[in-house]
Structure 1
Amino acid sequence: MLAYDTGKFDSLVFILALSTVIFLQVLSNLANDLGDGMKGTDNENRVGPQRAVQSGAISVKAMKKAVILFSLLSLATGLPLAWLGTRGMPPSLFWIFIVLALLCVLAAITYTVGKKAYGYLGLGDLFVFLFFGLLSVGGIFVLLTKQWDNLVLLPASAIGLLSAAVLNLNNMRDIENDQASGKNTLVVKIGGNLAKKYHAFLIITPVLLLLLFSYLTTTPGYLFGLLVYVILFPHLRTVMKNQQPRELDPELKKVALSTFFFSLLISIWILI
């Protein structure tokens, strides 16, 4: 929608981008289920919905096939996206986006899969910020507009931080089981009290970023996205007062949906 607001929009590139990110999201969820299931992190002590591999509803072999399938689907739309999105631009950009597409697939899988899964090393938040924020917003903006605008880093960072907040909250909920299972998430590394302060940073900073973006672009309408803080500020108060990590599970849906509606509300303003 930021691209649409510049007056430059390509419907086919948009459809390919939307398809690619959906395939990548499904891939990351399947791979996460597979990796945690194989490592034993998903066990009887896990909080939250039961996983497919953990419960035996899907075998490891079948889940591996699903991971391969969605890896191929992601590339099946991601590679044409790179080609169509960079037409008329320097050839080097095409190859940069090809590499980025491959890295997206690799990052989606290796969050929990493999001996050196980065989710087990406390690097999940960084990768979420980069791939769900900077790359997904900034990269797609370039593919749609054929240009770059440094100001796009502000809303891209806001989305990246809110996405990282979803992961942080998930890891706060699972801190006890993760610690016992050897999954050294950032929350395990810094502890529950610091994780709460970090969560406040992830939730509040997007407000400042959107205010700055709105000011620099002289577009007050972008602030329409801040309506989601009617939910997020009470959510943050709940998190800060929490003493039982398991009780954070209902809060996950609030942050995930608020991140979606943050984008949707800004998009609605742009469209009208």
Structure 2
Amino acid sequence: MLNIKPYILSFRLQTLPLAVSTVLMGNIIAAYHNSYHSYVGIFAVITTIFLQILSNVANDYGDAISGADNEERVGPERMVASGKISRKAMRNTVVVFVSLSLLSGIILIYFGNFRAVSIKSIGLFILGIGAIAAAIKYTVGKNPYGYRGLGDIFVFIFFGLVGVLGTYFLHTGTIHLWVVLPASAMGFLSVGVLNLNNLRDVETDAKTGKNTLVVKNGSKWGKKYHVFLHLGALFSLLIFGIYNFTEWYQWIFILVFILLLKDLIFVYKNNDPMLLYPYLKKLAISTFLLVLFLGLPLLLL
């Protein structure tokens, strides 16, 4: 019988709150603007979950092929590198989640607030194909972009701008300029999780030719960059709040940044990459809490 436990582990379910945070932000702002459609909200979450799992299994497969996953790696065990899932089986798993992402994405577009066959729907379909390709090409194929220091850009675009603005657009059929700010905040924090991962893996990444921005610029630079990402998220939301909030309790999201400050100080002062692993999960959960603390007061109005 097929042992499903290694597959569940390869899905890395702990990464899902961060991915869901992005579409949740888009859903909440659409609801705040009285344009929420339940089927769009549901299938946006489902599609995002499929895309995140696709990214995780493709990363497991790609890093095993390249040798980036080896006995020196810090963090959760990878299934292909450990031999618990064969390369062929993981490749098939990638195909399955490409199919699921594509099917769910088509259904999502169908329920969007525009004609099923239109320039808007075609554009979103192309964007969806791009998201699938980005999930795979991070570590898979010849010259993957994650090995050239381009992962941060793609994460900011797809886990920030596309995730929030795309979800909002599916609900409303339009783009509201102010939504760019919370979308950017989500992008900054998502890149922050990636940057923590790169700070943790800087030594093994350098040995295996995975030239992340931290490998290229050094851990000291990476720590300053981490501070910049947090400040970018904070200032984006502060500007959004100044021009959109009308009640004092809408500012409670700042409490999340206060909670993050202690972790940020630790990351900045830390000199042992192996100690950074728990902080990836903390930042992902904090990002999810941030969306709730920002979004729920908006829905109370």
- Partner of 2:251 in structure 1? 223
TM-aligned CA deviation for residue 83 of structure 1: 2.7
2: distance between equivalents of 1:30 and 1:207? 31
5 Å-filtered alignment, 1:119-158, equals 119-158=146-185
TM-aligned CA deviation for residue 224 of structure 1: 2.4
- Partner of 1:244 in structure 2? 272
- State whether residues 231 and 254 of structure 1, in contact with CA within 8 Å, keep that contact through their aligned partners in structure 2: no
TM-aligned CA deviation for residue 57 of structure 1: 1.2
Match status 1:45 vs 2:72: yes
Match status 1:201 vs 2:228: yes
Match status 1:69 vs 2:96: yes
- Partner of 1:267 in structure 2? 295
5 Å-filtered alignment, 1:20-39, equals 20-39=47-66
Of all paired residues, the percent bearing the same amino acid is: 47
TM-aligned CA deviation for residue 84 of structure 1: 2.3
TM-aligned CA deviation for residue 189 of structure 1: 0.8
TM-aligned CA deviation for residue 248 of structure 1: 1.2
- State whether residues 111 and 124 of structure 1, in contact with CA within 8 Å, keep that contact through their aligned partners in structure 2: yes
2: distance between equivalents of 1:175 and 1:124? 14
2:191 aligned to 164, 183, 187, which one? Answer: 164
- Partner of 1:255 in structure 2? 283
TM-aligned CA deviation for residue 269 of structure 1: 1.8
- State whether residues 164 and 202 of structure 1, in contact with CA within 8 Å, keep that contact through their aligned partners in structure 2: yes
TM-aligned CA deviation for residue 225 of structure 1: 2.1
TM-aligned CA deviation for residue 88 of structure 1: 4.1
- State whether residues 60 and 79 of structure 2, in contact with CA within 8 Å, keep that contact through their aligned partners in structure 1: yes
Change (3 A) 1:230 1:218: closer
- State whether residues 119 and 185 of structure 1, in contact with CA within 8 Å, keep that contact through their aligned partners in structure 2: yes
- Partner of 1:91 in structure 2? 118
2: distance between equivalents of 1:211 and 1:15? 29
5 Å-filtered alignment, 1:6-25, equals 6-25=33-52
Secondary structure of the structure 2 residue equivalent to 1:52 = coil
TM-aligned CA deviation for residue 7 of structure 1: 0.7
- State whether residues 79 and 85 of structure 2, in contact with CA within 8 Å, keep that contact through their aligned partners in structure 1: yes
Q: So what's the TM-score if we normalise by structure 2? A: 0.87
- Partner of 2:12 in structure 1? none
5 Å-filtered alignment, 1:99-114, equals 99-114=126-141
TM-aligned CA deviation for residue 87 of structure 1: 2.0
Secondary structure of the structure 1 residue equivalent to 2:134 = helix
The Cα RMSD (Å) is: 1.4
Change (3 A) 1:193 1:223: same
Greater relative contact order (Cα < 8 A, sep 6+) = 2
TM-aligned CA deviation for residue 226 of structure 1: 2.2
- State whether residues 36 and 42 of structure 1, in contact with CA within 8 Å, keep that contact through their aligned partners in structure 2: yes
More displaced stretch, 246-255 vs 223-232? 223-232
- Could you tell me which runs of 5 or more consecutive residues in structure 1 were left unpaired when the two chains were aligned: none
- Could you tell me which runs of 5 or more consecutive residues in structure 2 were left unpaired when the two chains were aligned: 1-27
